[in-house]
Chain A
């Protein structure tokens, strides 16, 4: 009994803190930059991290198995991974971009998990026989960590695309306008465009940063995804005798892996660099959601215990 109340408390604390952090980020973004608030938002994410860790540990103790047996628990683990990814660069003290992405992602995941749709399966359930294996820990945790890192990285790429295409559109309009004016008035076009160069400099710095961090985070996520898929295959071989069954979830995980391998390869080729890799990463964002949620909605195949409960259908 005490464990479930502890769980409830921790869940609500982490939920509220993350909403406060999101609000702070919105304020700094829309209104003004208040440094002290910003520091407190960083601390807030750290507190959230510890809260969710406590939540997972409590569930582990109370249910007796590693807290990764159904959809609700995997969502909690996902938001834990997001807060972990947020914290690691914080210790290196150089990446502020990631916090804008990981914070909202963590809140949405946590919010969805604790929302009314899934209230029935908040109770820690039992493990079916096939899930009682040490491989559960390694396979599912690396998969979820990989999903979290790949989601962050692809969101950074989406941000890059948004900024790139807004910049191009604006430049296009402005340069057209000035061209006409200079033609009629003989003004120095260069003088006017130099005003843009300062803004453009910061924009291209930002784009370069986004591109670089997206690449690093996605390669980390790719490593985790590889380990997750392969450990799942070895587990399947130990449990059922075949390491690849073309199960929908397995197939979609493989598709995700291929798409991000394409992303990594487009970055090496001279002609395909630039925004192309960001487009691939954005496609990858959609594919991860299909792999993680979409397949579970079907509720068939070997991974059916990750689906919504049958009473929902």
Chain B
């Protein structure tokens, strides 16, 4: 028996079979040699001299693990003819907190729900319903549907208004059909995560060593290095970021385990988003109000509940004052931004908050958020013949399409009690300028509100003092938002991570050559090239005691 120096390379191996009563499970892990290995009836065995620790019949203890995330090493599985990564049928015994309820359901229901073609069909159904919801105008009065889908000549030959209204397609996205399909999809998602994904994690994390060259050759990618040692391969792989485990002549390495976990993360994030959305739909308050500058309102008056879980909070008794509403313009005259200066007062009349909000910059207080969404002109303040000021309320006028707004008001001149009251008409697109028309409707002039320049129309002197705008505010309180945001964040993260590939490699020292096989789940096309480049670095062994320089192998 020759003793060999293991610290650098194996240069000479000797056939020797050790007595069978020694059955330890040492691990040669990342170049720390902890013991020796015995293999019954295989091609070779060797003994090492440095750091002999005979571990008698004990499974590897916690100190020798690689996966630092959990304390215990997964049990080393002796596999003879096992195909790795096969899905385990039975669900794990130790399940998470939320899944305990599934133990009560019959297994058959779970099996049906986690069927993938069914899930795909559900996804198609949800997509089709959503598409239908965009084609059918939503939220109109029933008369609209009577006209659009008449019974005498229905579109598609059968799609009358009865279909639309009974199935709830006029409010598709809150109809029972759609919500039911979504709930079904959510149930499938939960079942699939429980039955398929979680066992997959356990399988993927198991260290499995393949014992025979034939098993390795059945893998997707196979190669043979004619004169090499499996330890050198292990060193090269470690340098490339793999986790390497050596057990005698066999080697197992993996990289990118996060790519296996990430799909579970995606499904869990989706469930989180769905539950947050349900919470929002059932428990939030919404409201919108248009408040002229200088007026105020109480928060609770404008908010309406959205579902059965909505409960008002103390902040609902806050009073909101619109101190000032202003608009900024581009040089070309278009609207650049509009701002509202808000003060919040509590029941005692104390000012608790003051902020100027604008679009994309809301105010948050006590769970309530106030958004600036719209604007309008509430009144023009005019002086007529130096009397006044009169507040003339402005009304929005209908334009043919487009986003532009137009407001108008009317100042009667002359005899107020006659039937055909004549007066001065004033139009304004925004708070910048007012266009005035005389009694006959002819254009009279343009005035800017702050210039205080008078204008003479039909003998009346008019001064536009001010244009008072009103602020369009949307108020909302939504308990589901933190949940949904958490779901969004984790969904983005896990989707990115699941792009990574999980690669597994097995190798076996077969005489003087090493048989390598591997598989990967994502980057299949580049896999052979990547592994070839790695294998090129494995040094080639020659018969003399000092090996030559690393040489490119002649792969088979």
Binding site for B on A (CB under 8 A): 94, 126, 128-130, 132-133, 135, 209, 212-213, 216, 219-220, 222-223, 226-227, 230, 233-234, 237-244, 246, 248, 251-252, 254-255, 258-259, 261-262, 265-266, 268-269, 271-272, 295, 304, 310, 313
A233 to B336 Cα, complex, angstroms: 23
Interface status of B130 (Cβ within 8 A of chain A) = yes
CB-based contact A219/B116 at 8 Å: no
Interface status of B337 (Cβ within 8 A of chain A) = yes
Least CB distance, B265 to chain A, in whole angstroms: 12
With A220-B499, A230-B488, A310-B401 known, 17 other A-B pairs at CB within 8 A are A94-B526, A94-B529, A128-B403, A129-B335, A132-B359, A216-B522, A233-B488, A237-B481, A238-B360, A239-B360, A241-B475, A243-B481, A248-B134, A251-B133, A265-B123, A268-B116, A313-B401
Q: List 12 A-B contacts (CB under 8 A).
A: A132-B337, A216-B522, A226-B492, A227-B492, A230-B491, A233-B488, A241-B476, A243-B481, A246-B173, A251-B133, A255-B127, A271-B117
Interface status of B102 (Cβ within 8 A of chain A) = no
Interface status of B459 (Cβ within 8 A of chain A) = no
Using Cβ atoms and an 8 Å threshold, which residues of chain A touch B338? Answer: 129
| Chain A, Cβ-Cβ closest to B115 | A269
CB-based contact A130/B360 at 8 Å: yes
Interface status of B474 (Cβ within 8 A of chain A) = yes
CB-based contact B277/A244 at 8 Å: yes
Least CB distance, B93 to chain A, in whole angstroms: 25
CB-based contact B358/A241 at 8 Å: no
Least CB distance, B4 to chain A, in whole angstroms: 42
Interface status of B525 (Cβ within 8 A of chain A) = yes
Interface status of B37 (Cβ within 8 A of chain A) = no
Interface status of B362 (Cβ within 8 A of chain A) = yes
Closest 8 CB pairs of A and B: A212-B525, A241-B476, A129-B359, A133-B360, A230-B488, A258-B127, A246-B173, A255-B127
A254 to B81 Cα, complex, angstroms: 44
A132 to B336 Cα, complex, angstroms: 9
CB-based contact B499/A223 at 8 Å: yes
Using Cβ atoms and an 8 Å threshold, which residues of chain A touch B496? Answer: 223, 227
Using Cβ atoms and an 8 Å threshold, which residues of chain A touch B127? Answer: 255, 258-259
Interface status of B545 (Cβ within 8 A of chain A) = no
A253 to B335 Cα, complex, angstroms: 29
| Chain A, Cβ-Cβ closest to B138 | A246
Point out the residue from A242, A244, A266 that lies within 8 Å of B476, measured CB to CB: A242
Using Cβ atoms and an 8 Å threshold, which residues of chain A touch B138? Answer: 246
Least CB distance, A114 to chain B, in whole angstroms: 24
CB-based contact A132/B360 at 8 Å: yes
A304 to B335 Cα, complex, angstroms: 17
CB-based contact B126/A258 at 8 Å: yes
The secondary-structure label for the interface of chain B is: mixed
Point out the residue from A227, A243, A254 that lies within 8 Å of B495, measured CB to CB: A227
Least CB distance, B115 to chain A, in whole angstroms: 10
A219 to B286 Cα, complex, angstroms: 38
Given contacts A129-B359, A130-B360, A219-B499, contact A243 B525 (CB under 8 A): no
CB-based contact A219/B332 at 8 Å: no
Given contacts A226-B492, A230-B492, contact A243 B484 (CB under 8 A): yes
Binding site for A on B (CB under 8 A): 116-117, 119-120, 123-124, 126-127, 130-131, 133-134, 138, 172-173, 277, 286, 330, 332, 334-338, 358-360, 362, 369, 371, 373, 401-403, 474-476, 478, 481, 484-485, 488, 491-492, 495-496, 499, 522-526, 529
A268 to B474 Cα, complex, angstroms: 45
CB-based contact A246/B337 at 8 Å: no
Using Cβ atoms and an 8 Å threshold, which residues of chain A touch B475? Answer: 241
CB-based contact B371/A239 at 8 Å: yes
Q: How many A-B residue pairs have CB under 8 A?
A: 115
CB-based contact B525/A216 at 8 Å: yes
A109 to B335 Cα, complex, angstroms: 31
CB-based contact A310/B402 at 8 Å: yes
CB-based contact B117/A269 at 8 Å: yes
A261 to B173 Cα, complex, angstroms: 21
A313 to B476 Cα, complex, angstroms: 36
A234 to B172 Cα, complex, angstroms: 23
Least CB distance, B503 to chain A, in whole angstroms: 15
A133 to B359 Cα, complex, angstroms: 9
| Chain A, Cβ-Cβ closest to B335 | A129
CB-based contact A251/B369 at 8 Å: no
Using Cβ atoms and an 8 Å threshold, which residues of chain B touch A222? Answer: 495
A172 to B152 Cα, complex, angstroms: 49
Using Cβ atoms and an 8 Å threshold, which residues of chain B touch A248? Answer: 134
Given contacts A234-B485, A238-B362, contact A262 B124 (CB under 8 A): yes
Given contacts A223-B495, A241-B371, A269-B116, contact A252 B123 (CB under 8 A): no
| Chain A, Cβ-Cβ closest to B404 | A310
CB-based contact B130/A255 at 8 Å: yes
A210 to B495 Cα, complex, angstroms: 23
A234 to B489 Cα, complex, angstroms: 10
Least CB distance, A88 to chain B, in whole angstroms: 13
Least CB distance, A128 to chain B, in whole angstroms: 7
Point out the residue from B335, B474, B526, B529 that lies within 8 Å of A240, measured CB to CB: B474
Using Cβ atoms and an 8 Å threshold, which residues of chain A touch B336? Answer: 126, 129, 132
Point out the residue from A212, A226, A239, A269 that lies within 8 Å of B491, measured CB to CB: A226
Least CB distance, B544 to chain A, in whole angstroms: 38
| Chain B, Cβ-Cβ closest to A294 | B134
Using Cβ atoms and an 8 Å threshold, which residues of chain A touch B134? Answer: 248, 251-252, 295
Using Cβ atoms and an 8 Å threshold, which residues of chain A touch B523? Answer: 216
Least CB distance, A247 to chain B, in whole angstroms: 9
CB-based contact B373/A240 at 8 Å: yes
Using Cβ atoms and an 8 Å threshold, which residues of chain B touch A126? Answer: 330, 332, 334, 336
CB-based contact A241/B474 at 8 Å: yes
Using Cβ atoms and an 8 Å threshold, which residues of chain B touch A135? Answer: 360
Using Cβ atoms and an 8 Å threshold, which residues of chain A touch B123? Answer: 258, 261-262, 265
Using Cβ atoms and an 8 Å threshold, which residues of chain A touch B116? Answer: 265, 268-269, 272
A244 to B130 Cα, complex, angstroms: 13
A238 to B370 Cα, complex, angstroms: 10
A249 to B337 Cα, complex, angstroms: 25
A9 to B337 Cα, complex, angstroms: 34
A305 to B367 Cα, complex, angstroms: 32
Using Cβ atoms and an 8 Å threshold, which residues of chain A touch B488? Answer: 230, 233-234
Using Cβ atoms and an 8 Å threshold, which residues of chain B touch A239? Answer: 359-360, 371, 373
